[in-house]
Structure 1
Amino acid sequence: MTRLDPNLATPDDFNARPVAVVIGAGLGGLSAAMRLGAKGYRVEVVDRLDMPGGRGSSISMNGHRFDLGPTIVTVPQVFRELWAACGRDFDTDVDLRPMLPYYEIRWPDGSSFKASGSTEEMMAEVKRLSPSDAKGYEKFLKDSEARYAFGFEDLGRRPMHKLWDLIKVLPKFGMLRADRSVYAHAAKRVKDERLRMALSFHPLFIGGDPFHVTSMYILVSHLEKEYGVHYAMGGVAAIAKAMQGVIEDQGGTCTYGQEVSEILVKNERAAGVKLVSGRIIPADIVVSNADAGHTYKHLLKRKKKRWTDKKLDNSRWSMGLFVWYFGTKGTRDQWGDVGHHTILNGPRYKGLLDDIFLKGKLADDMSLYVHRPSVTDPSVAPEGDDTFYVLSPVPHLGHDNGVDWEIERDRYRDKVTKVLEEQLLPGFADKITASEIFTPLEFRDRYLSPNGSGFSIEPRILQSAWFRPHNVSEELPGLYLVGAGTHPGAGLPGVVSTAEVLDKMIPSALKVPAE
């Protein structure tokens, strides 16, 4: 049974509240709905999928449950603060488990690196690979901490829609050498190419090219070390379901299987949405968790001042993703050296990323992220079986002479199979009992992602902060944006923080009692 907010005295009082409609039940949209519900708004979330979570939703097949998108939970305090803002306890609703080690990185020469939160253990790993880089690694840690304090805790958690907000921080950007790339900064501190990769690959988890994304993103190294890497039992989809529960307890509703076709405008303000079904939902404010590119190109059907079709077409978009979800029979006790998170490096680093981001070329070699949640969460697979998620960064669909995934899907799967058989999971192909593949085509069609990109607009320096689509729309009063395509950006902490930024812009709908 739905529970009304305790600040709302009667159902009639609740029905008099301003209405907010949220387009999209991704983690950003659900976070926004929770914060708006806590402010007293009557909230309706609308999503074209059949469940909450967006890219963080799941599918089930032959007894296997597959997380479709994010698998790593970092900075759990952003979730705890979100729940606290709603008068709830996150840890009561979600079972979060720390990962130790965080992940293992493997190289073709047989060497490896295990990441953890212990400075001593990390230093031992650095010295094992390259003793002469120990002092440089210490400096890198200090660099990372400074950029975390400024880039995440400061800029990432406050509005950046005014040009003056950007101008004020330019000296700090200069001092922290934001003009330098993540890889260039790592290369300045350590000499071993394996360590340079281990300290610079993180932007790939938010759709950025480490050789071109600003060095501000080395903050992720501190973020991981300080707050850990976690897994939510039941997957990220379990977090999404818990978020829906909070929204409904606040009196809000979540409507699934319904797609928004248009953002309505009245008196030069956002006035609600129209669904493909024809239903109209009037609203006092509209929050779009749809990709910013889709929002401005397809949902806001009026002339744009800044985010024109041409500007969006000329923007740099994050890479695409080839993701293979598969289950294996009777393998839970096999491959004992393969943990929850493994990164398999190909023979090239910069060359491969140039093919993906700049040339739009589907290379024969690859680097893979392998997720094996069944070693932590038995519920993802039948007893004794395994569930896997293998991800390969690939070009998005917007390049000239782009990849034809109707032709390449099976060919590329066969190449991935060869790498896994030789380097990580010998014999796995004969034991597959469930299989599903997402290419950039699925990201385009399932999530309405421009160019089938995995993480919206690439977070380069001139596509971040003020340069990114603003949380408060510069195109239409009453329209707000959350999610990966707006400030501060992609990744679970980023999309949840977009709602925190939103919270600081929208006034409370609750009546203040007279003294």
Structure 2
Amino acid sequence: MMTRIETIESVETGDRAGARAIVIGAGLGGLAAAMRLGAKGYRVTVIDKLDVPGGRGSAIWQDGHRFDLGPTIVTVPQLYRELWQACGRDFDADVTLKPLDPFYEIRWPDGTKFVAQQDTEKLRAEVAKLAPGDLAGFDKFLVDSSKRYWFGFEDLGRRSMHKLWDLVKVLPTFALLRADKSVYAHAASRVKDEKLRMALSFHPLFIGGDPLHVTSMYILVAYLEKEFGVHYAMGGLAGMAQAMGRVIEDQGGTLLMNTQADEIVVRDGTVTGVRLESGLEMGADVVVSNADAGHTYTRLMRNHKKKRWTPAKLKKTRYSMSLFVWYFGTKGTRGDWKDVGHHTILNGPRYAGLLKDIFIKGKLCDDMSLYVHRPSVTDPSVAPEGDDTFYVLSPVPHLGHDNGVDWAVEEPKYKAKMLKVLEDQLLPGLTAKISTEVVFTPETFRDRYLSPLGAGFSIEPRILQSAWFRPHNVSEEAKGLYLVGAGTHPGAGVPGVISTAEVLGKLVPDAETVK
């Protein structure tokens, strides 16, 4: 766990010289931002309401099991190596990545399977088994994905998009790449088989986007996975978050856990610090909010008149769906279910219809598609010897729909439906094996992460909520205020939030020029 200081006041009254920075939120974006600021010479204090760092990437330890609560994979590992290098550190000395190949298995109710993997010929063989007539279209899809990766991720995703001119300059490329089409529409233009269309288009769900509406730029994930692989961080993302915290502390920074920010203090248009819920005001030259962008502007800046991110504008903002996540441990099952690997996706009988119910109608359905994470096949430390640790995730509507779900009533019912799907399609005999459990509903996301509407991934990455249209990394609402994390540019997903901190590092002046 993280080193703790004796009192909050010792941070505020310490005699160390230099420019001060406060980072609100110890999620992965906030931790990466703190590392970048520490490398630039700032005295950094990270504050977070949770008891451990990591935010959505944190963990809960219960009955000998470690439940990794959010992200489960590491892609584009060079991002993390570059982050550590900027701090004069070696990522691979602090974090052990284990390549996963195959990446995951997709299953349909009729028994059809598709195994996603890195080797191109093996992947094409999977396509040939599923839809032999779509091989040529699949090859074209991979080329399309590569083009969008190099433009959308390596170019736009690693620089600020806070100036309108930055958007205007890239509009011709957006048009050329048909960014106006959805991910699903692009997949459908290349392949005819509906199952393959799903396999090529579901990835936006991992960043909170509706594949039927999210810009086709996000097909870049197919290239990203194939080119750089899919990895698991031993110890989970929670372990990587703790490694990030150690780097911050080695830089002279501090992590204040169990500490909640109440307001970003602005005087004469410039941030001067952060007021905590305790009433203590901590001064700073730079404030970085890793809190949800909506929470930042509606709650933390509630007493400051906004120019752009007004309450009316935020009310019109479309948020991602939420999640129902069931974490559970099983007794004596390490040798059971031998055909169930690290990552499995169980499709329900519907795809487009289910997406419309979740994102548009706000309807909680009887049918569901599930993401099943079984890290114990890779990392024995997540469970007692011989046991297993699972988490099973189902996309569900956020809390903002008119026909809102009463989760106090629906939680046990929905979990029972989820259990039946798991027993029927993947884990026979599961009921008798469960030894411990934790359930997260959209209300948990609202309360634990202060996420507006209980959204799982902040603002949905539609085309008019991306790049310049998204909350900017450098805020126009107050001088010295910056934003990182899923709700700002370039967006959600672990590579996205790590990139928000990289963009931040290019915007914030070196500490020596501030004081």
Q: Does TM-score exceed 0.5, indicating one fold? A: yes
> For the structure 1 residues 163 and 511, does the alpha-carbon distance in structure 2 shift closer, same or farther, using more than 3 Å as the test?
closer
Work out which of the residue numbers 296, 315, 318 in structure 2 matches 1:316. Answer: 318
Rounded Cα–Cα distance in structure 2 between residues aligned with 1:132 and 1:496: 39
Rounded Cα–Cα distance in structure 2 between residues aligned with 1:327 and 1:510: 50
Question: Any idea what the Cα deviations from partners look like across 1:26-74, whole Å, max 9, x if unmatched?
Answer: 0000000000000000000000000100010000111110000111111
Alpha-carbon shift at residue 510 of structure 1 (Å): 4.1
Alignment-derived partner of residue 96 in structure 2: 95
The one-letter amino acid paired with 1:402 is G
Question: Any idea what the Cα deviations from partners look like across 1:272-306, whole Å, max 9, x if unmatched?
Answer: 00000111110001000000000000001211121
Alpha-carbon shift at residue 471 of structure 1 (Å): 0.3
Alignment-derived partner of residue 143 in structure 1: 144
Question: Any idea what the Cα deviations from partners look like across 1:322-357, whole Å, max 9, x if unmatched?
Answer: 000000000000000000000000000000000000
The one-letter amino acid paired with 1:21 is I
Alignment-derived partner of residue 7 in structure 1: none
Work out which of the residue numbers 491, 498, 501 in structure 2 matches 1:499. Answer: 501
Rounded Cα–Cα distance in structure 2 between residues aligned with 1:238 and 1:417: 29
Question: Any idea what the Cα deviations from partners look like across 1:368-399, whole Å, max 9, x if unmatched?
Answer: 00000000000000110000000000000000
Rounded Cα–Cα distance in structure 2 between residues aligned with 1:118 and 1:310: 49
Q: Are 1:80 and 1:90, in contact at CA under 8 Å, matched by a contact in 2?
A: yes
Alignment-derived partner of residue 191 in structure 1: 192
Alignment of 1:386 onto 2:388: yes
Equivalent residues in 2 for 1:267-416, closer than 5 Å:
267-300=268-301, 301-416=303-418
Work out which of the residue numbers 467, 470, 475 in structure 1 matches 2:469. Answer: 467
Q: Are 1:14 and 1:42, in contact at CA under 8 Å, matched by a contact in 2?
A: no
Alignment-derived partner of residue 6 in structure 2: none
Rounded Cα–Cα distance in structure 2 between residues aligned with 1:215 and 1:353: 16
Alignment-derived partner of residue 131 in structure 1: 132
Matched position secondary structure for 2:507: coil
Query: Is there any run of 5+ residues in structure 1 with no aligned partner, and where?
Result: 3-12
Cα root mean square deviation, aligned: 1.4
Q: Are 1:444 and 1:451, in contact at CA under 8 Å, matched by a contact in 2?
A: yes
Q: Are 2:19 and 2:512, in contact at CA under 8 Å, matched by a contact in 1?
A: no
Query: Is there any run of 5+ residues in structure 2 with no aligned partner, and where?
Result: 4-13
Alpha-carbon shift at residue 109 of structure 1 (Å): 1.2
> For the structure 1 residues 196 and 432, does the alpha-carbon distance in structure 2 shift closer, same or farther, using more than 3 Å as the test?
same
The one-letter amino acid paired with 2:347 is N
Matched position secondary structure for 1:318: coil
Alpha-carbon shift at residue 509 of structure 1 (Å): 1.5
> For the structure 1 residues 112 and 303, does the alpha-carbon distance in structure 2 shift closer, same or farther, using more than 3 Å as the test?
same
Q: Are 1:93 and 1:242, in contact at CA under 8 Å, matched by a contact in 2?
A: yes
Equivalent residues in 2 for 1:200-215, closer than 5 Å:
200-215=201-216
Rounded Cα–Cα distance in structure 1 between residues aligned with 2:315 and 2:322: 16
Alpha-carbon shift at residue 15 of structure 1 (Å): 2.1
Q: Are 1:34 and 1:247, in contact at CA under 8 Å, matched by a contact in 2?
A: yes
Give the alignment's TM-score, normalised by structure 1. 0.96
The one-letter amino acid paired with 1:450 is P
Alignment-derived partner of residue 237 in structure 1: 238
Alignment-derived partner of residue 508 in structure 1: 510
The one-letter amino acid paired with 1:192 is D
Alpha-carbon shift at residue 130 of structure 1 (Å): 0.9
The one-letter amino acid paired with 1:482 is V
Alignment-derived partner of residue 169 in structure 1: 170
Alignment-derived partner of residue 111 in structure 2: 110
Matched position secondary structure for 1:244: helix
Matched position secondary structure for 1:504: helix
Alignment-derived partner of residue 261 in structure 1: 262
Alignment-derived partner of residue 39 in structure 2: 38
Question: Any idea what the Cα deviations from partners look like across 1:78-117, whole Å, max 9, x if unmatched?
Answer: 1110000000000000011000100000011111011111
Alignment-derived partner of residue 10 in structure 1: none
Rounded Cα–Cα distance in structure 1 between residues aligned with 2:28 and 2:18: 24
Rounded Cα–Cα distance in structure 2 between residues aligned with 1:401 and 1:92: 50
Rounded Cα–Cα distance in structure 2 between residues aligned with 1:341 and 1:95: 19
The one-letter amino acid paired with 1:207 is G
The one-letter amino acid paired with 2:267 is K
Rounded Cα–Cα distance in structure 1 between residues aligned with 2:296 and 2:390: 33
> For the structure 1 residues 201 and 14, does the alpha-carbon distance in structure 2 shift closer, same or farther, using more than 3 Å as the test?
farther
Rounded Cα–Cα distance in structure 2 between residues aligned with 1:306 and 1:510: 31
Matched position secondary structure for 1:495: helix
Equivalent residues in 2 for 1:477-488, closer than 5 Å:
477-488=479-490
Question: Any idea what the Cα deviations from partners look like across 1:144-176, whole Å, max 9, x if unmatched?
Answer: 000000000000000000000000000000000
Alignment-derived partner of residue 18 in structure 1: 19
The one-letter amino acid paired with 1:28 is G
Rounded Cα–Cα distance in structure 2 between residues aligned with 1:309 and 1:405: 27
Question: Any idea what the Cα deviations from partners look like across 1:189-228, whole Å, max 9, x if unmatched?
Answer: 1111110000000000000000000000000000000011
Work out which of the residue numbers 451, 454, 459 in structure 1 matches 2:453. Answer: 451
Alpha-carbon shift at residue 511 of structure 1 (Å): 7.3
Rounded Cα–Cα distance in structure 1 between residues aligned with 2:63 and 2:504: 40
Matched position secondary structure for 1:69: coil
Question: Any idea what the Cα deviations from partners look like across 1:247-271, whole Å, max 9, x if unmatched?
Answer: 0000000000010000011232011
The one-letter amino acid paired with 1:409 is E
The one-letter amino acid paired with 1:44 is T
Rounded Cα–Cα distance in structure 1 between residues aligned with 2:403 and 2:189: 36
Rounded Cα–Cα distance in structure 2 between residues aligned with 1:146 and 1:209: 22
Equivalent pairs, count: 503
Rounded Cα–Cα distance in structure 2 between residues aligned with 1:339 and 1:365: 23
Rounded Cα–Cα distance in structure 1 between residues aligned with 2:426 and 2:312: 44
Rounded Cα–Cα distance in structure 2 between residues aligned with 1:470 and 1:511: 23
Q: Are 2:266 and 2:304, in contact at CA under 8 Å, matched by a contact in 1?
A: no
Alignment-derived partner of residue 6 in structure 1: none
The one-letter amino acid paired with 2:79 is V
Matched position secondary structure for 2:511: coil
Alignment-derived partner of residue 9 in structure 2: none
Rounded Cα–Cα distance in structure 2 between residues aligned with 1:458 and 1:266: 32
Alignment-derived partner of residue 79 in structure 1: 80
Matched position secondary structure for 1:74: coil
The one-letter amino acid paired with 2:322 is G
Alignment-derived partner of residue 8 in structure 1: none
Alignment of 1:430 onto 2:413: no
Q: Are 1:323 and 1:438, in contact at CA under 8 Å, matched by a contact in 2?
A: yes
Matched position secondary structure for 1:199: helix
Runs of 4+ in structure 1 deviating by more than 6 angstroms, as ranges, are none
Alpha-carbon shift at residue 431 of structure 1 (Å): 1.0
The one-letter amino acid paired with 2:284 is A
Rounded Cα–Cα distance in structure 2 between residues aligned with 1:416 and 1:310: 37
Alignment of 1:67 onto 2:68: yes
Rounded Cα–Cα distance in structure 2 between residues aligned with 1:381 and 1:215: 39
Rounded Cα–Cα distance in structure 1 between residues aligned with 2:243 and 2:513: 27
Matched position secondary structure for 1:442: helix
Matched position secondary structure for 1:261: strand
Rounded Cα–Cα distance in structure 2 between residues aligned with 1:155 and 1:89: 26
